[in-house]
């Protein structure tokens, strides 16, 4: 029985495959987020043209919110560590 070895090339190919999958999933999440925002915008009476021009600002607000949430979580984690 021959033993197959897991080579560096195998690992690099695996990592490339995983990275490509993560990129696809990130694009899909971003598009789903954009589509959900667009639907909410239109449901609230906004126009498609105005949504397109406002989308960049909406993305920036989302980034800021994620940063605030991450910062809050980090502070809470730090507090729980320092009270032990």
Query: Which whole-number Å values give the CA distances from 81 to 30, 31, 56, 70, 77, in the listed order?
Result: 34, 37, 38, 16, 6
User: pTM above 0.85?
Assistant: no
27 falls within a domain: yes
1 falls within a domain: no
Q: What is the DSSP letter of 2?
A: P
Q: Which domain holds residue 36?
A: 8-82
Q: In this predicted model, what pLDDT tens digit does every residue of 20-77 receive, in sequence order?
A: 999 999 999 999 999 999 999 999 999 999 999 999 999 999 899 999 999 999 999 9
2 falls within a domain: no
54 falls within a domain: yes
What is the pLDDT at residue 81?
A: 86
47 falls within a domain: yes
Number of domains in the chain: 1
44 falls within a domain: yes
């Amino acid at each position: 029985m021959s033993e197959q070895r897991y080579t560096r090339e195998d690992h690099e190919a695996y990592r490339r495959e995983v990275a490509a999958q993560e990129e696809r999933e990130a694009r899909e999440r971003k598009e789903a987020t954009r589509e959900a925002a667009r639907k909410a915008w239109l449901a609230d009476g906004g126009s498609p043209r105005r949504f397109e021009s406002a989308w960049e600002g909406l993305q920036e607000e989302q980034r800021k919110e994620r940063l605030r949430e991450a910062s809050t979580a980090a502070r809470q984690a730090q507090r729980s560590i320092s009270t032990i």
